Amino acid sequence: MNISDILRIAIRSIASNRMRSALTMLGIIVGVASVVIMVALGSGARAMVVEQIRSLGAYVLMVLPGEASDQGVRQEAGTGQSLTQGDAEAIASALPTVAAAAPSVRGVFQIVSGNQNWRTTVNGTTGDYFFIREWALAEGRYFTDEETLAGAKVILIGKTIATQLFNKDENPVGQSVRIANAPMTVIGVLSEKGPTGTGRDQDDIVFLPISTARQRLMGGANQIDREAVDYILVKASSHEMMPIAEQQIAWLLRQRHGLRPAQSDDFRVTDPAATMAAQTASTRVLSWLLASVASVSLVVGGISIMNIMLVSVAERRREIGLRLAVGARRRHIRMQFLVEALVVCLLGGAVGLIVGIFGTALLAGLAGWPAFLSPAAMVMAILFAGITGVFFGYYPARIAARSNPIDCLRSN
């Protein structure tokens, strides 16, 4: 008896009990579909975080002021005003581990174009900001150092701003807009960056020279020190230099701010990519945990298959005895029942995979959550279904193979 004969007998046996076979497959279908959905959603979340890290730019560090204090009550970090534009210039010029540094001030303003308006974040910075973030242009050009020094009334806008203020067939470059009643000329549209890890739209932003922002809009991040900035974005010279650059920035700022050894820093140097990488790791652990929980359904399905196969062995004792009596080897009997369990699990796995794919698309669409199902994950889902069939089908197959043919022929 060759494998094709065994397979044909197995399929005929499954087809003769369609309802029982379908119910047996149900546990495998649910298990495979659950695992597929959990893995796809987890992979999508990790891919989203990786894309967000990439959108930050390479080797980026962020320097934030410390927390402000109001009548002895400490506020959240970043609310202080301890950083200045001079700090950014010193970081860029004095530290060999730093490739560039860009000071920034920001605020929320209404931007108006014709009869369209939009409330958005306005960021005053220097041209180095776009080099640090590796933010390409979709149209137009960046503002120059000369325009930054002169306080030129020019702006760069994100994709969201271009969509909200201008028609699809209208080129924003060269158009005049108003920000807080200050006229500005659009000189460029930035390429799309997408949302951040917190869901904030990175493309819903306007950039202009930092001197223009101070003169025309903000007057300075603080009225006492007009040189104060909200944060400084720094690009290290390489990945290996990032820890060294972080230490050197802290040392330099402590010197510039005249902090004594016993005093704590009035600033924070953070690595946004490291924070997101930690988020990626936690997302990976969570997705595997959810997949492990979902795989319990496979175990339950496997137990169901074992029970049904034991019932099948009991019902087909005369068939088993007859086959053994006419010369079938015990390994043939064992292989027959193993193949039946394997076919049931593979069919259930295939149906579960289809259900999982549609379920993933449905959940991702309803929740707005990214999902990614790789071909390797689909193959693994079918493979695990097959392993479940072999593992839980072996015991019934072993009992069938060790049956006494005489006792089997005597059974009713």
| C-alpha distance across the termini of the chain, in Å | 26
Helices (H), 152-271: 159-165, 210-212, 242-256
Which amino acid would we find at residue 237?
Answer: S
pTM of structure: 0.61
Q: What's the burial of 260, exposed, middle or buried (CB within 10 Å: 0-12/13-18/19+)?
A: exposed
Which amino acid would we find at residue 273?
Answer: A
Distance CA 160, CA 165 (A): 9
Q: The tokens of 274 are what?
A: 């490291």
Radius of gyration of the CA atoms of the chain, in A: 33
Task: Going from the first residue of the chain to its last (412 residues), give the mean pLDDT of each consecutive group of 10, the final group possibly shorter.
Answer: 68 75 81 82 71 71 74 47 88 92 92 89 92 90 91 92 88 90 91 74 91 80 65 89 90 91 87 64 65 73 82 78 77 81 86 88 76 79 84 84 77 62
DSSP for residue 285: H
Distance CA 388, CA 392 (A): 6
Kindly give the pairing relationship between strand 176-179 and strand 73-74: unpaired
Q: The tokens of 240 are what?
A: 């290996």
Predicted local confidence at residue 92, as pLDDT? 92
- Element of type H or E holding 395: helix 375-401
Q: The tokens of 123 are what?
A: 């960021």
Q: What is the dihedral of CA 213, 214, 219, 224, to 10 degrees?
A: 140
Which amino acid would we find at residue 33?
Answer: A
Predicted local confidence at residue 55, as pLDDT? 65
271 CB-near residues (< 8 Å, 6+ apart): 60, 61, 62, 242, 246
Predicted local confidence at residue 265, as pLDDT? 87
Q: In angstroms, how far is CA 365 from the centroid of its own chain?
A: 16
Predicted local confidence at residue 72, as pLDDT? 46
Predicted local confidence at residue 73, as pLDDT? 42
Predicted local confidence at residue 183, as pLDDT? 92
Predicted local confidence at residue 111, as pLDDT? 92
Predicted local confidence at residue 186, as pLDDT? 93
Distance CA 31, CA 301 (A): 7
